Copies of this chain bind each other. A is one copy, B any other.
Amino acid sequence: MRYELYYWPTIQGRGEFVRLALEEAGADYVDVARRSKAGLSAMMKLMQAKTGTPSFAPPFLKAGSLTIGQTANILLYLGARHGLAPKTEAGRLWVHQLQLTIADFVQEVHDTHHPIGTSLYYEDQRGAAKQRSAEFRKQRAPKYLGYFERLIAGGGGPFVTGRKLGYADLSLFQVVEGMRYVFPNYMKKAERDVPGLIALHDRVAARPNIKAYLDSSRRIPFNEDGIFRHYKALDK
């Protein structure tokens, strides 16, 4: 089965968590909106459908007759099919719980540059963004990163849910990548406190399929349109 991934064509964003799972799995997929303008129109049209299961926002994945939205939900589906999640119910619920906590963290990273509203420009909310970023670096980022570190340390490793790589590991890799891009100054110090998370990041980066993906043109570079944006003023 050839999957169809629908996501904004010029950013990593939330779609990247799905791309990493598809790439690690060696799955056959098409990144529809990147293929052509017609792909982007098709995506918009599917979202506006009046029946069926239209998504509120991308990413969503077509898998045969299924159309699945919400990043963590897509990973729940792919994880079971491609050996990227534990087989037991307890294991599946735990890795999904982690993914949802990662999603919360990613949302908080996003809101550092858009604390007032997504329909406004960053430039129109710079003051609030500075305040929110300071708060985020002081309170939230250490709390989340420390939580992930504690799980990795307590889990017996080398991956966050144990001996086998799962989709949450791929997402934690992306979280470290994103945080390094957004807050290089902050991360320079913060990484010392989370050696297990950094080791996990490096382990994921070295996976053959992930390495090939990162070296390819399929990996869109970080930029100031996505979730992870670098603004010097927010990384004091």
Contacts and interface: CB of A to CB of B under 8 A. Distances in A.
| A interface bracket (residues with beta carbon within 8 Å of B) | 35 or more
Which of A97, A104, A107, A119 has the most CB atoms of chain B within a 10 A radius of its CB?
A: A97
A50 interface: yes
A164 interface: no
B115 A135 contact: no
A212 interface: no
Contacts of A50: 150, 153-154
A209 interface: no
A56 B150 CA distance: 11
A49 B107 CA distance: 25
A54 B149 CA distance: 12
Interface string A120-131: 100001001001
A119 B132 contact: no
B96 A117 contact: no
A65 B89 CA distance: 12
A97 B70 contact: yes
A129 to B, nearest CB: 10
B116 A100 contact: no
Interface string A41-80: 0000000011111111000000001101110110011000
Given A117-B139, A128-B116, A128-B131, A69 B97 contact: yes
A54 B154 CA distance: 10
A146 B93 CA distance: 31
Contacts of A151: 54
Given A50-B153, A53-B97, A116 B115 contact: yes
Contacts of A101: 56, 69-70
